[in-house]
């Protein structure tokens, strides 16, 4: 561990802290919302500010805070052995400064985008706070850990893209339910990955409370329900193509196989398979 910390620059450690591989989750949801709201593939110019918001700014602010309060479990988690705070590449005080700076930058960029985006940024930062920080620390409350992540990734990100073009109140209610189901199904298996370390640290995540088998069954049920809802939404709006119908069983089967023994790469595989009907969906929306 000491060798890793000594060889890693502060800049490199900060990049790993911000987890850029997670940024596409927010970008993808916002892009979908933008296309759905405008019927156009190319977003408006101010979408660049939204990309900055949903990428490095929000993720750095939320993850810096999360890592601070996850340190007890991360220290006994083999998967987190090279995390910057665990190795000493970053100090707790530096993480606190980066949290404050990123949160301030998030609010500043959101204010420039408009009051709707500022309200959304305040909500996301607030959810990040109650998710990580005691006494609420919803990450350690089974069920609430899933709901918070599903709300941010599955609802707020797409709504942000939609808000670039249309009022938030006009966002389709079907998409709210669909986003919650999809994001919850994707997040739930990730609680299984770290279940041993979380249990040892006393962090009662969904996997600690309900065990891996129940989490898998719940996730698969939500994923299958989301797929059925997706097909229904496409059919109602005239977007149900042969690709949508043909990929539906493939999407469910990929989740059934890959989420059974979850890992970050395997869950990424689920997302990649889902990207096929999602891309076809966007092309259908653009075609009108």
**Given this model, what pLDDT does residue 237 score?**
87
**What does 71-126 look like in DSSP terms, one character per residue?**
HHHHTT-GGGTT-HHHHTSS-HHHHHHHHHHHHHHHHHHHHHH-HHHHHHHHHHHH
d(CA 17, CA 189): 22
- Residue 1 has what pLDDT? 41
Instruction: Break the chain into its structural domains and give their ranges.
Output: 1-171, 173-288
Q: How far apart are CA 287 and CA 107, in angstroms?
A: 36
- Within 13 Å of residue 4, how many CA atoms lie on the same side as its CB? 13
pLDDT at 208: 96
In sequence order, the β-bridge partners of residue 141 are 204
Predicted pLDDT of residue 189 = 96
Looking at residue 288, its pLDDT comes to 74
Supply 227's token pair. 């797929």
Q: State both tokens at 50.
A: 């939204």
pTM for this prediction: 0.91
CA distances from 178 to 76, 159, 229, 251 (A): 36, 12, 7, 15
CA-nearest of 97, 118, 119 to 109 is 118
Architecture field, domain 173-288:
Up-down Bundle (1.20)
CA–chain centroid gap for 107, Å, is 19
Which long-range contacts does 77-81 make (Cβ < 8 Å, 24+ apart)? 77/194, 77/196, 77/197, 78/197, 79/193, 79/194, 79/197, 80/194, 80/197, 81/1
Q: What is the pLDDT of residue 5?
A: 40
Question: Could you give phi then psi for residue 73, rounded to 5 degrees?
Answer: -80, -35
Give the pair of three-digit tokens for residue 155.
Answer: 């609802």
Instruction: Please report the pLDDT score of residue 86 as a whole number.
Output: 93
For tokens 């990424």, name the residue. Answer: 268
For 1-171, CATH number?
1.10.357.140
pLDDT recorded at residue 48: 95
Point out the residues of the chain with pLDDT beneath 50.
1-6
């Amino acid at each position: 561990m000491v060798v890793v910390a000594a060889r890693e620059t502060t800049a490199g450690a900060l990049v790993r802290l911000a987890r850029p591989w997670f940024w596409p989750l927010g970008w993808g949801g916002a892009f979908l919302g933008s296309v759905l709201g405008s019927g156009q593939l190319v977003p408006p110019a101010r979408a660049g500010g939204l990309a900055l918001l949903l990428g490095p700014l929000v993720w750095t602010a939320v993850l810096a805070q999360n890592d601070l309060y996850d340190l007890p479990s991360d220290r006994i988690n083999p998967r987190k052995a090279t995390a910057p705070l665990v190795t000493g590449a970053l100090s707790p005080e530096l993480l606190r400064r980066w949290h404050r700076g990123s949160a301030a930058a998030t609010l500043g960029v959101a204010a420039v985008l408009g009051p709707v985006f500022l309200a959304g940024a305040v909500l996301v930062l607030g959810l990040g706070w109650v998710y990580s920080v005691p006494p609420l620390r919803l990450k350690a409350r089974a069920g609430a850990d899933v709901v918070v992540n599903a709300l941010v990734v599955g609802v707020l990100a797409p709504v942000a893209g939609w808000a670039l073009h249309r009022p938030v109140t006009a966002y389709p209610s079907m998409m709210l339910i669909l986003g919650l189901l999809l994001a919850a199904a994707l997040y739930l298996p990730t609680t299984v990955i770290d279940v041993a370390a979380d249990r040892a640290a006393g962090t009662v995540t969904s996997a600690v409370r309900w065990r891996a088998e129940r989490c898998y069954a719940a996730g698969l049920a939500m994923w299958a329900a989301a797929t059925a809802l997706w097909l229904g939404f496409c059919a109602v709006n005239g977007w149900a193509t042969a690709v949508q119908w043909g990929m539906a069983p493939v999407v469910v089967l990929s989740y059934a196989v890959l989420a059974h023994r979850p890992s970050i790469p395997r869950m990424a595989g689920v997302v990649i398979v889902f990207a096929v009907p999602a891309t076809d969906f966007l092309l259908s929306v653009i075609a009108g």
